[in-house]
């Protein structure tokens, strides 16, 4: 099928990877109990990512690479 589409992913379905991912920069990191909530700049878009508090942590201003583990596509109409 052709045409425009919207790509979506849940904040918990995006992983930080060492290499081979989509490049971004961490803009904000907030602790929310058992979850760490990140805001990551990817090009002109800002993405929200949530990781467990025991997962490796990234700092604000740090470069990162992202892997989308589950994608959801919607028609842009």
pTM of the model: 0.87
Q: Structural domain tally of the chain?
A: 1
What is the predicted pLDDT for the residue at 77? Answer: 77
What is the predicted pLDDT for the residue at 61? Answer: 98
CATH of the domain at 68: 2.40.50.140
Tell how far CA 36 is from the center of its chain: 12
pLDDT digits (tens, 9 = 90+) for 24-49: 999 999 999 999 999 999 999 999 99
**Number of Cβ atoms within 10 Å of the Cβ of 61:** 9
- Structural domain that includes position 52: 5-75
Mean pLDDT of 6-16: 95
Decide if pLDDT at 76 tops 90: no
């Amino acid at each position: 099928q052709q045409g425009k589409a919207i790509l979506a992913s849940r904040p918990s379905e995006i992983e930080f990877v060492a290499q081979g991912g989509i490049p971004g920069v961490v803009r904000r990191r907030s602790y929310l109990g058992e979850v760490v909530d990140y805001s990551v700049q990817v090009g002109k878009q800002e993405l929200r990512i949530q990781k467990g508090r025991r997962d490796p942590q990234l700092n604000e201003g740090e470069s990162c690479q992202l892997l989308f583990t589950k994608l959801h596509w919607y028609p842009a109409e």
